[in-house]
Amino acid sequence: MEAYLDNSATTRCSSKAAALMMKLLTEDYGNPSSMHHKGVVAEDYITDAAKKIAKTLKVQEKEICFTSGGTESNNLAIVGAARANQRAGKHIITSSIEHPSVSAVMAYLEENGFEVTCLPVDAYGVISLEDLKQAIRPDTILVSLMQINNEIGAVEPVSEAGALVKQMNPKTLFHVDAIQAYGKMQINPKKMNVDLLSVSGHKIHGPKGSGFLYIREKTKLLPIINGGGQQKGMRSGTENVPAIAGLGVAAEEIYTGFDGKITHMYELREHFITEAEKIPGVSVNGHKDRTNAPHIVSVSVEGVRAEVLLHALEEKQVYVSAGSACSSNKPAVSRTLKAIGLARSLLDSTVRFSFCAENTMDEIDYALEQMRTIIPMLQKYTRH
């Protein structure tokens, strides 16, 4: 049996999306900027994908800007907003548990004269609205928060944060990194007072190299990629039509039968947590109930190095991440785990299991069965 439980790293691409992409690569391969018929056909695919996506967010299709993925969306949102609004102020607020595609961009802006306030989180990885309220100033031009943390699955109060930001300073832009949240929660940017929202395609069974940034109408933003002026000048370069079309299909699919999928993932998660915690030395980080995301479980195992557990599970065809696979294979200490105050001894002993709706209870049971034999075996040979 195989159990792929690393869906927050990436997911299997939807067969329907893949089939459409094949057609676009080999048959309808036109450049959407071309004047002739083949160009028009290609453009139609983009419009269609934008429509599908806009529907899932209840926004307008022209507010969707396609990118190469989550990292580019976050870069465009943050750098673009900072550059476009720097005359109004140079203060930006973010949290201490952001993905590197946000935190590294913040560090870059800090080096370039911006002031960045980093909000702390509680032991469950959640920011405090009171802290946010205190941090907002007249010269705050941007607040950037993630909706679901990629390492422990903490759900941030972005809806309340949005309301608060706009109440304190209507001019402040609000960016949400929804890369782990899109497809796992119902998201309504308008109601949530979100101006910019980042999404990645390959986390929702779409293709790698696809993603988008929702840009609320009339938001002041400067592009980071300049050139031929595609996508209303916001992101130049010939559109990756196959990836965009694939993303459209994946977006539509992920929100079909949505409630059932979420319930299913919560059931997997709850069963997994209950059983995993029975193994001596195993503890779960973050909320165990449904205030946490349905698809992420962060597990610390006393006396076992994450990398070793990962490879031992891999031998049994159970695939997980050590910390966050998305932040490359450098064994660096996780900022998120540090921020929630995890014991030092567990920082290097934490693995992430992440589910998708396609996972079955049998797969979870299989993974648990492997853990029950592997963990005590590895604990026996703890490094002293």
As annotated, the active-site residues are 326
384 is a contact residue toward another protein (CB under 8 A): yes
Q: Are the C-beta atoms of residues 171 and 139 closer than 8 Å to each other?
A: no
314 is a contact residue toward another protein (CB under 8 A): yes
383 is a contact residue toward another protein (CB under 8 A): yes
Binding residue count for another protein, defined by CB under 8 A: 16
Residues 14 and 357: their CA atoms lie apart, in Å, by: 12
CA distances from 278 to 26, 284, 301, 318 (A): 52, 11, 12, 19
- Per CB under 8 A, which region of 79-87, 145-153, 333-341, 376-384 contacts another protein? 376-384
Q: What phi and psi, each to the nearest 5 degrees, are found at residue 353? A: -105, 130
Measured from the CB of residue 116, what is the shortest distance to another protein in angstroms? 29
Closest CB to another protein among residues 122, 314: 314
Closest CB to another protein among residues 26, 328: 328
Closest CB to another protein among residues 336, 370: 370
Helix (H, G, I), strand (E, B) or coil at 263: helix
Measured from the CB of residue 70, what is the shortest distance to another protein in angstroms? 24
DSSP 8-state class, residue 83? H
Residues 315-344 that bind another protein (CB under 8 A): 315, 329-331
Please name the residue ranges forming H helices in 204-360: 241-254, 258-276, 306-315, 335-339, 344-347
Measured from the CB of residue 372, what is the shortest distance to another protein in angstroms? 16
- Token couple for 194: 């979100």
218 is a contact residue toward another protein (CB under 8 A): no
Closest CB to another protein among residues 229, 331: 331
Measured from the CB of residue 333, what is the shortest distance to another protein in angstroms? 13
User: Left if phi > 0, otherwise alpha if psi is -120 to 50, otherwise beta: which for 269?
Assistant: alpha
Number of H helices, E strands in the chain: 12, 13
Helix (H, G, I), strand (E, B) or coil at 4: strand
Neighbour tally for 168: CB within 10 Å: 17
Q: CB within 8 A of 217, min separation 6: which ones? A: 60, 62, 63
Measured from the CB of residue 313, what is the shortest distance to another protein in angstroms? 8
Closest CB to another protein among residues 278, 330: 330
Measured from the CB of residue 349, what is the shortest distance to another protein in angstroms? 14
Q: Are the C-beta atoms of residues 76 and 99 closer than 8 Å to each other?
A: no
18 is a contact residue toward another protein (CB under 8 A): no
Measured from the CB of residue 384, what is the shortest distance to another protein in angstroms? 6
Closest CB to another protein among residues 309, 357: 309
267 is a contact residue toward another protein (CB under 8 A): no
381 is a contact residue toward another protein (CB under 8 A): yes
122 is a contact residue toward another protein (CB under 8 A): no
Closest CB to another protein among residues 296, 309: 309
Which strand (E) or helix (H) includes residue 81?
A: helix 70-85
318 DSSP β-pair partners:
3
Annotate each residue in 293-312 with x if it binds another protein (CB under 8 A) or - if it does not, as one string.
--------------xxxxxx
Q: CB within 8 A of 22, min separation 6: which ones? A: none
Residues that bind another protein (CB under 8 A): 307-315, 329-331, 380-381, 383-384
